[in-house]
Amino acid sequence: MGTTIAICLALGVVLGIYLDRWWHASPAGLLVGIVLGVAAAVASVISLVRRYL
């Protein structure tokens, strides 16, 4: 479960940095990427927990 959270957050940060470079909007893309990464991590953890309950 920990690796799932870490991968989701890392992908969100990488996506945010890529969007920052593409749009030339420094903090906005990173913040969007972090929010998307956290949302993906929460959704993934919920699905993992439901599988074992």
Q: Which domain holds residue 19?
A: 2-52
Mean pLDDT for the chain?
95
Tell me the pLDDT band of 25, cut-offs 50, 70 and 90: confident
The number of distinct structural domains making up the chain is 1
pTM: 0.86
Element (H, E) at 32: helix 26-52
Tell me the pLDDT band of 14, cut-offs 50, 70 and 90: very high
Helices 26-52 & 2-23, crossing angle to 10 degrees?
A: 160
Q: What is the pLDDT of residue 26?
A: 86
Give the single-character DSSP code of 1: -
Q: What is the pLDDT of residue 49?
A: 94
